[in-house]
Amino acid sequence: MERLKIVKIGGHIINDETALNAFLDDFSKLNTPKILVHGGGKSASTLTQQMNIEVQIMNGRRITNAETLDIITMVYAGKINKTIVAKLQARNTNAIGFSGADGNSITAIKRPVETIDYGFVGDIQKVHIKTLKLLLNHGITPVFCAITHDKNGQLLNTNADTVASELAIAFANAYATELYYCFEKNGVLEDVNKDNSVIEIIDSKTYQTLLEGNNISEGMLPKLTNCFHAIAHQVKKVHIGKSAMLLHTNTKHTTIQK
């Protein structure tokens, strides 16, 4: 089976042009079919402030009202996505920017209101890989922002880590798919204050031990849930760490496996 690498980058890379350029240098050198998924970074919050829009927060979670969705669409699908695509073209990586609406690639349903109405937040229903596969087969690299749609004309805000893992799962039968979460730390750490305390391999067994010992930081928990969800659905391996791990395979990082 041909390999496919799906790489997710978050705010720390997007917010820092030097880091973004260095990442894109590495990413463009990957010589397998590849897909990039990017999060949002600080620009959405900055724009929200500049426009004097109130951020609604409920139980510590941000509500995506219509104004916030507009801002997210402008910043994620517009500014960040097109900047990355143009930078990849300059590196001779033929990229096309995607939201889930483009090519009808990711359909989602608006999260049902139970105790909280999160607004225009989408839970992924299905990833349609046909068009994406056509592009990959022609050497084109899809670049995803974390916006999906409900196929009825409504765009929806979706978690970027989840977009990456659901894409990986959807491709797992067509390609030997590996998923990379690039972030500012070297991987999952035994001690969050010690950047060198990387847990190099986490399998289902060590994961259980970590969970039982309450040894996983709050921010890392949903990321790991995504990882094991992907592994349970035929994704070969998931890697978590600094983006140097993409090209320099001996870079210390965390690998999640069965």
Q: How far is CA 174 from CA 1, 14, 36, 247, 248, in A?
A: 7, 30, 18, 23, 26
Tell me whether residue 156 or residue 168 sits nearer to a second copy (CB atom).
156
Least CB distance to a second copy at residue 145 (A):
9
Single-letter code of the amino acid located at 185: K
Tell me whether residue 103 or residue 109 sits nearer to a second copy (CB atom).
103
Chain positions contacting a second copy, by CB under 8 A: 47, 50-52, 70, 73-79, 81-83, 85-87, 89-90, 94-99, 101-104, 131, 134-135, 138, 140, 147, 149, 151-155
Got the DSSP string for 101-147?
Answer: TGGG-EEEEEPPPSS---BSBEEEEEE--HHHHHHHHTT-EEEEESE
d(CA 232, CA 154): 30
Least CB distance to a second copy at residue 15 (A):
15
- Residue 61 annotated as part of some ligand binding site: no
- Residue 159 annotated as part of some ligand binding site: no
d(CA 96, CA 88): 9
- Residue 91 annotated as part of some ligand binding site: no
Least CB distance to a second copy at residue 48 (A):
11
Least CB distance to a second copy at residue 211 (A):
38
Tell me whether residue 61 or residue 82 sits nearer to a second copy (CB atom).
82
Among candidate residues 2, 8, 1, the one with its CA nearest the CA of residue 142: 8
Beta bridge partners of 123: 109
Instruction: Give binding residues for substrate as ranges.
Output: 40-41, 62, 157
Instruction: Give binding residues as ranges.
Output: 40-41, 62, 157
